[in-house]
Each structure stands twice: as structure tokens, then as C-alpha cells.
Amino acid sequence: MCTQCEGQLPWIFPPLCPRCGRPQASGILCPTCAQATSAISVIRSPLRFEGVARRAIHELKYRNLRAIAPALATYLVRSLRDAGYEPDIIVPVPLHPRRARRRGYNQSFLLAREVAKETCTPISADALARVREGASQVHTTSVEERRQNVSGAFACNDTSVSGKQVLVVDDVCTTGATLESCAVALRGAGAIDVWGLTVAREV
């Protein structure tokens, strides 16, 4: 990423909601998180999903610009280290096999692989499987629609996550529904803690 674009990145600064990572002036749980239980302990995203960040993610996701993944991953690593979290294993959010064949690659895996390299953390690309395709989250509008769209969409049959602190990596967090569904599957397989890390999030 060039210096000019990097200078325009829409960073998210604290104070944040301790769970979902949205900017929260009080630094305590936001109203949404305060009223709900969650399988995912914490979500962190270094950038707002707007402007340069949105364009960069779209280039990675839809225009095959895989070369931008290492640059975006440096922001993920920075956010992870700022949070002080040291996962035992990193897991990318999987695509449904049909969508993976159409796209030819999984952008979340590319990001997770770079984070794993930089932090010397094991990665399990196959720990999660997407067992139900559903509509793209881009085409859902309400929080409830997004939750229903990914409810039960993921399965974990990988015993390597049992007893582990797991970091789930994705490109964008909108409502947290995808990460939550992943966390439910991972905890069902014995994970003791699950965090989510995305390049950007809607706030």
C-alpha cells in the first residue's frame, strides 16, 4: 500500500467496547453486548470499513489482488499485539466449497496465513468448514437477517482446537454474526476461548 493511501486509513481508536470492539466512549460494554451472551470473547478490528480500507478489502476479495494481503495483515498483527492476546491457534473463516471454487481463493485464509507467520502461531485452515452456504452477508440488511443467515453455517470436527485459545480471522466484521457462528462451532469442539480479528468493521 502506498504512503498516500496508508495515510488515509480510517483507524479505530480506543476507548472501545471490551467485547465487540466498537468505539465506546465509556470503555465499558456497549448496550448491545451488555444485553447478550456471546460465544466469542472479544472482537478486534484496526480499521473502520470505509474509504481506503473498504477499497483495499474489495480489491483483495473481488479483484484477485492477493498481493495486498500481507500489508493488511500487518494491521491485524498490530491490533492483536495491542490487545495483548496470544492465541494457541489461528483459524480463518472458511468459504463454502462452491463459493471457494468460484472465487479461486479464500481471502480470510490469506490474511490468517500472514498473521500466523508474523506471530509464529500455528494455523489450521481446515478447523472450520462451512456446511451451509446461505446468502452473502453483503445482501442481508438487518442484524437478525445476518444472524439467521449464518446460524449453524459452520462446523468444527478438528480436535486440535480442544483446550486451545483460538483466534478466528476474517476480512470484515459487520454485526459479528459470522464470527459468533464460528465461535459456537469451535467451542462445541472444545475450544476454551475464541477471539475474532478482522481488518475492518462497520461502526
Return d(Cα 139, Cα 151) in angstroms, integer.
16
pLDDT digits (tens, 9 = 90+) for 33-73: 999 999 999 999 999 999 999 999 999 999 999 999 999 99
If one counts the domains in the chain, the total is: 1
pTM to 2 decimals?
A: 0.92
Q: Note the pLDDT of residue 135.
A: 58
Over residues 93-146, the pLDDT tens digits come to: 999 999 999 999 999 999 999 999 999 999 999 999 999 876 554 555 556 676
Considering only residues 170 and 132, tell me which one the structure prediction assigns the higher pLDDT: 170
Containing structural domain, residue 189: 3-201
Q: The domain that contains 98 carries what CATH number?
A: 3.40.50
